[in-house]
Each structure stands twice: as C-alpha cells, then as structure tokens.
Amino acid sequence: MSNKIKFAIAGCGSIGSRHIAVTDAEERAEIVALCDIDEQKVKALSETYGGIPYFTDYETMLASCDADVVNICTPHGLHAEMAIKAANAKKNILVEKPMALNVADCHRMIDAAQANGVKLMVVKQNRYNVPIALTKQALDSGFLGQIFMVQCNVLWNRHQGYYKDSNWRGSKKLEGGALHTQVSHFIDLLVWWFGDLKEAKTHLETKNHDIEIEDCGQSLVKFGSGVMGSIIWTTCVYNKNYEGSITVIGENGTIKIGGQYLNKIEFWDVKSYPLPEEIEFNDKPNAYGKYQGTSSNHDKVVHDVVAELLNERHNVVEGNEGMKTIEAIELIYSKS
Ligand SMILES: NC(=O)c1ccc[n+]([C@@H]2O[C@H](COP(=O)([O-])OP(=O)(O)OC[C@H]3O[C@@H](n4cnc5c(N)ncnc54)[C@H](O)[C@@H]3O)[C@@H](O)[C@H]2O)c1
C-alpha cells in the first residue's frame, strides 16, 4: 500500500457528497473512483473534483479501480451485498450506518471480510462529538458510580418530501425503519456505554407520513450491565428538529447530552468531576437543505480509516462492533 490511501466512493447522494469532500481534503487520501447509478449526479461530482474516474455500475467500478477502500454510501438494503462484493474484490470497506438491515447480513459481511483478509469498518462519527467524548471519559473513570438509568430522545422533523422525493426512504425493504436511519447513532452510543441490549418492550406507530415504516416509536429497554432505560423517537416534530439527547442517571452523577444532535452538555452534575472548563463545543450538524442530521465528524472517521490502513493506530469501529447496533435494533423491533 502506498502512503496515500486510495478511496472509491459508491453512492454519491447526501452523505456520499460529504465523504467525497472530506476524503478530498484528507492529506493522505486520494479518491480514485466514484460510482452512482445516477449518471448526471456522479458526472457532476467527478467534474467538481477535477475529473475523478466515475462509474454507473458498481461491479464495473470494483473490477476497474485500484482502490484500497470502498466507501458504501447507498440505501441500507444494499449495504450487505455491496460490502460482500467489495470484500471479494479484495477491497477494505467503510460502510455507512446502519451496517446492514439485519444481523444475518452483518455476519455475512464479517465473514466475507475475514475470508478475503480485508477490514470492514462502520461509520460512527458521533463517537467523536465533544460531549460524547467527555461522557465516555466520565463513565470510564468510574466517577458516576453505578449507572441506574438512561433516557434517549430522538425528536426530529422529517418533512413529507424527505420520504416522497426518495425511492428508498420510508420503504421497509430498503430503509428498514427509523431505528436504522435516525436512531442507530444513538443506539450505538448506548450499547458502547452500557453493553448489549438484553430486553425491550416496544410500541410503534405511523402517524404523520405516508410510509411503510414507523414515524413514532418508544421502547423500554435493559442493557447487559443492568442499566434500564427508554428510547423515544419520532420524525414527526413540527417544522424542525427539536432534540437529540441522552440523559445518564448514575449513583454519583447525572449527565444530559443534548442540543439537536448530541452537540451540547445540557446538564452535568458529577461528584468530584466538574465539567472541565473552556471546552469548545464545536460539533456541527450534517445539513442537507431542508433537514439536518447528526454531527458532521466524517473528516475524523476518514482520518482514522487512513491511519488504520497505514497501521498507525486503531480507532475505527469494525464489523463485530458495528453489528451490536443492528442486534439491538433487531431486538427492539422484534418486541413490538
Ligand atoms: N453517518 C451519517 O450521519 C449519515 C447521514 C446521512 C446518511 N447516512 C447513511 O448514508 C447512506 C446513504 O444515505 P443518503 O442520505 O446519502 O441517501 P441518498 O438517497 O441521498 O443517496 C444515496 C445514493 O446512492 C445511489 N445509489 C443507489 N443505488 C446504487 C447502486 N446500486 N450503486 C451506486 N449508487 C447507488 C443513489 O443514486 C443516491 O445518489 C444511508 O445508509 C444513510 O443512512 C449516514
């Protein structure tokens, strides 16, 4: 492998464009191919970035380019097959969240990566958010004592056009559910902090969109560590995102991470561990015109993928860990 890691980006939509921008800006990365079934879109992006070779057929791209890693930024229902094809073409993989729509597909992806000796990495950019890193430190240090409960709210707006103008959003087969899209970031953090999800009691409804999946959901959950909690999610909030928050209730402290996308500390009261002063809360959202997603720390993800593939440090989320989010999502839906 040369000192520049070669990336190919498959799926050049909302987040694919962000992958292209941050990879282009990464000193030790080079984009060698773009792929999208929408030729106009991929051609325009190729031109914007100086004529990167582009393809409208994924398998042709895999066979023709010498990428070290393929970023999969396509609808959820395509992640597993595209990752397996990339692995069989001996490419490392960076797959967008959710890793796949079900646990069986995650296993197939992991097996394919292992069989071909390549790395399977999953985008979890919220782990880099300043409030998340601070909370992780507080949890790891033990200052919070025993953790009793956690409350997670994902109270967001997705306007009608978000689903109507897309050929995959709102579809069970291609999107899965709102847990796969909006909530998987939050579930990743909960499982990372409190262990695998063991129990769930769930209620789902579709109240305000013409879609096959839920737009309102609630689940009472219990994690392997014994922490009990609730997750409430909706895409029905009027006009704009209201809140994306996680509140941790511990024996010796309470932390509420909030803002619209886990970008603020709303409350911090931890025994012997005051909130460090002069912290800059500088996480920005991924903004897509009429709606906003979670944090835009994709530059840090790509930076760590480069470091991983150059054997400098290990700070990426690999398939086995990414799969835990899908296990939790599968359990939550199975208990509705
Ligand atoms: N990490 C994050 O914060 C974040 C944010 C947004 C989206 N995402 C994830 O990124 C993925 C894409 O979401 P999006 O919002 O960019 O969707 P999008 O609809 O804007 O883009 C998807 C693109 O994939 C292309 N595509 C579809 N089938 C293809 C195929 N067979 N080969 C090549 N290209 C194909 C489409 O033409 C489209 O351009 C999803 O998994 C989504 O959950 C992650």
Any atom of ligand 1 within 6 Å of the Cβ of 12: yes
Residue 113 C-alpha to ligand 1 middle, in angstroms?
21
Same domain for 74 and 217, yes or no, is no
Q: What is the number of structural domains in the chain?
A: 2
pLDDT digits (tens, 9 = 90+) for 203-238: 999 999 999 999 999 999 999 999 999 999 999 999
- Give yes or no for a contact between 158 and 291, defined as CB atoms under 8 angstroms apart: yes
- Going by pLDDT thresholds of 50, 70 and 90, the confidence category of residue 67 is very high
Picking from 122, 146, 177, the residue at the C-terminal end of a domain is: 122
% residues pLDDT > 70 (the chain): 96
Q: Specify burial of residue 254 (Cβ count, 10 A radius: 0-12, 13-18, 19+).
A: middle
Peptide bond into 75 cis (omega under 30): no
How many angstroms separate the CA atoms of 4 and 49, rounded?
17
Residue 223 C-alpha to ligand 1 middle, in angstroms?
30
pLDDT digits (tens, 9 = 90+) for 243-253: 999 999 999 99
Any atom of ligand 1 within 6 Å of the Cβ of 10: yes
Q: Smallest Cα–Cα separation from 145: which of 254, 266, 222? A: 254
Any atom of ligand 1 within 6 Å of the Cβ of 293: yes
Any atom of ligand 1 within 6 Å of the Cβ of 14: yes
Q: β-pairing, 285-288 with 291-295? A: antiparallel
- Give yes or no for a contact between 101 and 77, defined as CB atoms under 8 angstroms apart: yes
Of the candidate ranges 151-165, 283-297, 307-321, the one whose mean pLDDT is the lowest: 283-297
Tell me the CATH number at 165.
3.30.360.10
The two three-digit tokens of residue 142, written as one number:
């033990």
Same domain for 90 and 226, yes or no, is no
Same domain for 141 and 108, yes or no, is no
State which of 18, 34, 36, 301 you would mutate to test the pocket of ligand 1, scoring each by most atoms of that ligand within 8 A of its C-beta: 36
Q: Is the pTM of this model over 0.85?
A: yes
Q: Smallest Cα–Cα separation from 152: which of 197, 122, 116, 104? A: 197
Q: Specify burial of residue 53 (Cβ count, 10 A radius: 0-12, 13-18, 19+).
A: middle
- Going by pLDDT thresholds of 50, 70 and 90, the confidence category of residue 291 is low
Same domain for 212 and 80, yes or no, is no
Residue 60 lies in a domain: yes
Same domain for 133 and 175, yes or no, is yes
Same domain for 130 and 162, yes or no, is yes
Any atom of ligand 1 within 6 Å of the Cβ of 97: yes
Same domain for 227 and 99, yes or no, is no
Residue 180 lies in a domain: yes
Same domain for 108 and 167, yes or no, is no
**Residues 44, 56, 289, 259, Cα dihedral to 10°:** -130
Q: Smallest Cα–Cα separation from 309: which of 83, 91, 133, 162? A: 91
**Which residue's C-alpha comes closest to atom 4 of ligand 1?**
15
Q: What is the pLDDT of residue 279?
A: 81
Same domain for 118 and 150, yes or no, is no
Residue 318 lies in a domain: no
- Give yes or no for a contact between 53 and 30, defined as CB atoms under 8 angstroms apart: no
Residue 27 lies in a domain: yes
pLDDT digits (tens, 9 = 90+) for 256-282: 999 878 989 999 999 999 998 878 877
Q: Residue 196: what residue type?
A: D
Any atom of ligand 1 within 6 Å of the Cβ of 72: no
SS (H, E, C) 71-124: EECCCHHHHHHHHHHHHHCCCEEEECCCCCCCHHHHHHHHHHHHHHCCCEEECC
Any atom of ligand 1 within 6 Å of the Cβ of 102: no
Average pLDDT of the chain is 95
Residue 323 lies in a domain: no
Residue 314 lies in a domain: no
Same domain for 246 and 204, yes or no, is yes
Residue 44 C-alpha to ligand 1 middle, in angstroms?
17
Q: What is the pLDDT of residue 259?
A: 86
Beta-carbon neighbour count of residue 273 at 10 Å?
A: 18
Residue 209's domain comprises 126-294
Q: What is the pLDDT of residue 286?
A: 66
Residue 236 lies in a domain: yes
Q: What is the pLDDT of residue 277?
A: 83
pLDDT at 289 over 70: no
State which of 14, 187, 188 you would mutate to test the pocket of ligand 1, scoring each by most atoms of that ligand within 8 A of its C-beta: 14
Tell me the CATH number at 90.
3.40.50.720
Same domain for 141 and 48, yes or no, is no
